[in-house]
Structure 1
Amino acid sequence: MIYYTKQEVDGDRVEKTINTTRNKGGKIRTLLLHFFLVLLVTLLMVLLFLAGTLFLFSRGPSDTARNLFVMSVRETSAIGFLADIFLSDEEIAAIEAGRGAENLDVTDASLVDIKRSGSSGRPAADEWGYVDEDMDGIIVVPVAGESYVGNMMIVLDPSRVALGCVPESLGTQGYTVAEYAEIFDAVAAINGGGFEDLNGQGDGSMPNSLVVVDGEICCGGKGVGPGFVGIDKDYILHVGFTSAEEVEKLNIMHGTGYGPVLVVNGEPVDDEALVSGLNPRTAIGQRSDGAILMLVIDGRQATSLGATYADEAELMLEFGAVNACNLDGGSSSLMWYEGEYINNCASVIGIRDIPTSFVVLREGAKRDD
């Protein structure tokens, strides 16, 4: 029989404890190593998949897919660089040139005959079958297509529509759509023209196109871009490549630029001028009876990927537009009505400040002409 002293037993226990601890520590290190190795491999696979997808879109066999990809990302400041990874500047320019509309007809004001609706005491359907149920002069109609959902707002009295802009704040501060509604005591509003937005980091204070407020040019921008929309003193909406010199000639009271133009004199712009990807959209138009159409489409969401320019043009024609123009879209696309936003903002960082907004004044209030 072998006898062990207490010291020997205790020492053996300590050694076993140390060995157990070492073994556990080694297992933890091994598990952590395996975890980070799997994570690294997964990230590499995801990056390779994304790179392969970008390459397929950029250099794959489908010109349609390539053009759709380029137009979609180039319309978004924050991710526009993705098109540059596998395509040259010349190739991108050639794709974007396909949506230019160089020979637009001049807006024919005679096609718009503004109807002054009298008070009948009860809601009545208009020529297009839409009814102002609450008789506030505004009709909101949900719209939907294969890739989008949104809202079309019909403002029956065009004299209630003005461009929301704070000229003294241009270049220093922008405002949200809701803030423009509050500033101008409006019942509804949508976002307006574009603005300087380098890499998606713009503060929404500086327009990048012509801006007209109360008949005065308050920002010359860099021209009018691929489209200008302006409302004259008789509440006729004009679209086209209006220059600063033409603003006075046309008696434009409120307007801003973005584009492209969608509908001119009751006809859609040529399909090649409406090449685009799927994105959140905002547009404005006018029916033959003078009613102003405001369209906002949700995008970059599981339930609504977005719309193309052609989708916008089709919707505008469906609602009776004789003239219509695309406005700024993407993360800026918002519609505000009766104290709240009625569409979903596509921005992951929250609602953006913008330099201009088309607002709908309260009944009886008139814009400053």
Structure 2
Amino acid sequence: MSNENNEEIELFDYMDEESESRKIPVNKKEKTGGKSGRSKKKKKAGALTWVGRVAATIGITLALIIVWLYGVMAVLVYGPSKTAKNQFVLSVQETSAIGFLANIFCSQEEIDAIKAANSIKDTDEVTDTSLVSIDTEDNSEVPDIEIIDVKGSTYSGKLMKIKDPSRLFVGTIEGFHQGNGQVVADIAKRYNAVGGVNGGEFVDGETTYTGMPIGLVMINGEQVNGNSGSTYHVTGITFDNKLVVGNMTAEQAKQNNIRDCVSISNSIGPFLIINGEAQDVSGTGGGLNPRTALGQTSDGSIILLAIDGRMANSLGASFSDLQDIMLQYGAVNASVMDGGTSTQMYYEGEVINTPYSPTGPRTCPTSWLVK
């Protein structure tokens, strides 16, 4: 009996020892879990530190870029070159987004003086349509539409020359409204037009309505926008397909036999050439920006021009540059349309210039289109 009892006691002792030994791994696991939690916290803290360093690097880089840009602008404004200062002020003032940059360095009085000294002066002269004789002969060697690359020291762009002026007309969005308009490509598709460029001015300021034109707009001889008694800076095409530019009321536009027209203020879209005479240019003739222009040669051919700008390979053109291009290609009457991010030329299903906008061309209410 005693042996059996001793064996039982020894057995129980062994089991107790074994049970105790089995607890050890459990304790180890608990300790291991604690180490894992601390490791995760360390990794999270490390990730946050890395994010902070990246954010700090980006912030410092942006600050350095801003300081560098400020320095460049300061050199342009306060440096020895008066032309560079004028070009800077004029170029940024024509943009709704960064126009305030000029006010950082110059008073409003100084900005106004620079604008007045570097512009194309307005005029009371109106196109004499008798000076344009439309070529009605079958001239098959001249293409119906010709696309030409234009390039200068500060700009590049596209010129479209249309042999038959009767193909030119004003296209609009479906209805003018206090909202967004459409890009030229969509307006052209609405009319099944083969090509075109952006048209006249629209509401753009503290509140922007690219679907609402400013000034006189006429379609097929009917006034669709503007006040009857007001005088507007008008570019139009007559019922006998001659380009007319001049300051006039809606009634005077009808007296001038205008079929389609748009309006744009002289500071944004001056007249370049009237009756074969280049208009008076003061100073640099405007800043360097994307530009759109419209002209007609003495034989009736229409010239549409879109100049790219605000890019490394094409800073843009001044009004004086546009005048030179139009004269080079034989325009006897010409004027400027809205420019900047609005500048766009459409032809055969695509935009063929390079509009300055990461999101594509700006919407507008009116366009000059080609049937």
Q: Using structure 2 for the length normalisation, give the TM-score.
A: 0.80
After TM superposition, give the deviation of residue 170 of structure 1 in Å. 4.1
Contact 2:126–2:247 under 8 Å retained in 1: no
- State how far apart, in whole Å, the 2-side matches of 1:184 and 1:17 are: 69
CA RMSD, Structure 1 to Structure 2 (Å)? 3.0
Q: Is residue 264–residue 322 contact of structure 1 (8 Å, CA) maintained in 2? A: yes
Give 1:193 shift. 0.6
Q: Which amino acid aligns with 1:254?
A: D
Kindly provide the CA deviation profile for residues 202-243 of structure 1, in whole angstroms up to 9, marking residues without a partner as x: 341011222122112221179666x42111222111112233
Alignment of 1:109-124 (within 5 A): 109-118=129-138, 123-124=140-141
Q: What is residue 152 of structure 2 aligned with on the other side?
A: 145
Equivalent pair of 1:177/1:334 in contact (CA under 8 Å): yes
Match of 2:350 in 1: 340
In structure 2, C-alpha distance between the alignment counterparts of 1:235 and 1:273, rounded to whole Å: 34
Task: Give the whole-Å Cα distance in 1 for the aligned partners of 2:159 and 2:58.
Answer: 46
Structure 1 residue 57, shift from structure 2 partner: 2.8
2:65 aligned with 1:46: yes
2:296 is the alignment partner of 1:286: yes
1:95 aligned residue (109, 114, 133): 114
Q: Which residue of 2 aligns with 1:83?
A: 102
Q: 1:187·1:360 contact (CA, 8 Å) conserved in 2?
A: yes
What is the deviation of 1:164?
0.7
Q: Is the 8 A contact 1:228 1:325 kept in 2?
A: no
SS in 2 for 1:240: strand
1:197 to 204, 214, 220: 204
Indicate how the Cα distance of structure 1 residues 16 and 234 shifts in structure 2: closer, same or farther if over 3 A, else same: closer
The 8 Å contact of residues 233 and 252 in structure 1, kept in 2 or not, is answered as yes
When the two structures are aligned, how many residues end up with a matched partner?
338
Query: Which position in structure 1 is the counterpart of 2:224?
Result: 218
Structure 2 match to 1:367:
none
Determine if the alignment matches structure 1 residue 161 to structure 2 residue 168.
yes
Residues 299-347 of structure 1: per-residue CA shift (max 9 Å, x gap): 2223222211111111111110001001111111111111221112211
Cα 1:342/1:56, change in 2 over 3 Å: same
Deviation of 1:65 (Å): 1.2
In structure 2, the residue matched to 1:68 is 87
Sort the Cα spacing of 1:246 and 1:22 in 2 relative to 1 into closer, same or farther, 3 A: closer
- 2:254 is paired with a residue whose SS is helix
Distance 2:316 2:98 in 1: 16
Give SS of 1:186's match.
coil
Amino acid at match of 2:78: R
Could you tell me how far apart the structure 2 residues matched to 1:223 and 1:354 are?
A: 23
Identity over aligned pairs, percent = 41
Task: Tell me the CA shift for residue 358 of structure 1.
Answer: 0.6
Paired residue type of 1:357: S
Q: Any unmatched runs of 5+ in structure 1?
A: 1-5, 125-130, 362-369
For residues 168 and 352 of structure 1, what CA distance do their matches in structure 2 show?
17
The 3-state SS of whatever aligns with 2:98 is: helix
C-alpha separation in 1, matches of 2:86 and 2:230: 26
2:259 aligned to which of 238, 253, 256: 253
CA contact under 8 A between 1:141 and 1:152: conserved in structure 2? yes
Number of the residue aligned with 1:327: 337
**Counterpart residue type for residue 271 of structure 1:** V
The structure-2 alpha-carbon separation of the partners of 1:117 and 1:180, relative to structure 1 and needing over 3 Å to count, comes to farther
Q: Which whole-Å deviations, capped at 9, do the CAs of 1:108-139 have from their partners, x for residues lacking one? A: 22210011132x6xx42xxxxxx31xxxx211
- Give 1:171 shift: 3.8
Q: How far apart, CA to CA, are the structure 2 residues paired with 1:213 and 1:23? A: 72
Runs of 5+ consecutive residues of structure 2 not aligned to the other structure: 1-23
Q: Which has the larger radius of gyration?
A: 2
- For residues 274 and 268 of structure 1, do their structure 2 counterparts lie closer, same or farther at Cα, with a shift above 3 Å needed? farther
Aligned counterparts of 2:261 and 2:340: Cα–Cα separation in 1? 20
* Amino acid of the structure 1 residue aligned with 2:224: C
Q: Match of 2:76?
A: 57
Query: Could you tell me how far 1:198 is from its partner in structure 2?
Result: 2.4
| Distance in 2 between residues matched to 1:26 and 1:256, nearest whole Å | 63
Residues in 2 aligned to 1:358 and 1:45: alpha-carbon distance in whole angstroms: 44
Aligned partners of 1:166, 1:43: CA distance in 2, in Å?
41
Contact 2:165–2:301, Cα closer than 8 Å, also in 1:
yes
SS in structure 1 of the partner of residue 101 of structure 2: helix
- 2 CA distance for matches of 1:21 and 1:339? 57
Q: CA deviation at 1:291?
A: 0.9
SS of match in other structure, 1:262: strand
How many angstroms apart in 1 are the aligned matches of 2:347 and 2:39?
A: 68
How many angstroms does 1:175 deviate by? 1.9
User: What's the TM-score, normalizing by structure 1?
Assistant: 0.81
Going from structure 1 to structure 2, the CA distance change for 1:105 and 1:22 (only over 3 Å counts) comes to closer
2:323 to 272, 296, 313: 313
Q: Does 2:237 match 1:231?
A: yes
Tell me, in whole angstroms, the C-alpha distance in 1 between the residues paired with 2:81 and 2:124: 30
Change (3 A) 1:53 1:246: same
Residue 285 of structure 1 aligns to a residue whose secondary structure is strand
